[in-house]
Amino acid sequence: MLSQTAEYALRAMWYLARHSGEPQVMEGIAQGTEVSRDYLYKVLQQLVRGRLVRSKRGKGGGFVLAREPKSITLFDIVDAVGALERLTHCPLTNRASCVNHEAGQAGLCPLHATVDAAARQFERRLSAIRLTDLLQRIQTKPTAGRDRARLDNPRRRPAGFAARSGRARAASARPVRAR
Q: Are 63 and 54 in contact (CB under 8 A)?
A: yes
Cα 132 to Cα 88: distance, rounded to the nearest angstrom: 33
pLDDT band at 35; cut points 50, 70, 90: very high
Say which amino acid occupies 131: L
Total count of domains within the chain: 2
Question: Average pLDDT, whole number, for the chain?
Answer: 77
Between these two residues, 76 and 179, which has the higher pLDDT value? 76
Residue 121 lies in a domain: yes
Residues 94 and 128 in one domain: yes
If DSSP states are collapsed to H, E and C, what string results for 39-50? Answer: HHHHHHHHHHHC
Structural domain including 157 reads 144-172
Residues 93 and 153 in one domain: no
Q: Tens of pLDDT along 127-168? A: 999 999 988 887 665 454 444 444 444 444 444 444 444 444
pTM score, whole prediction: 0.67
Q: 93-131: string of b/e by CB count within 10 Å (b at 16+)?
A: eeeeebebeeeeeeebbeebeeeeeeeeeebeebeeebb
Q: Tens of pLDDT along 110-128? A: 788 888 888 899 999 999 9
Residue 101 lies in a domain: yes
Q: Tens of pLDDT along 85-101? A: 777 766 665 555 555 55
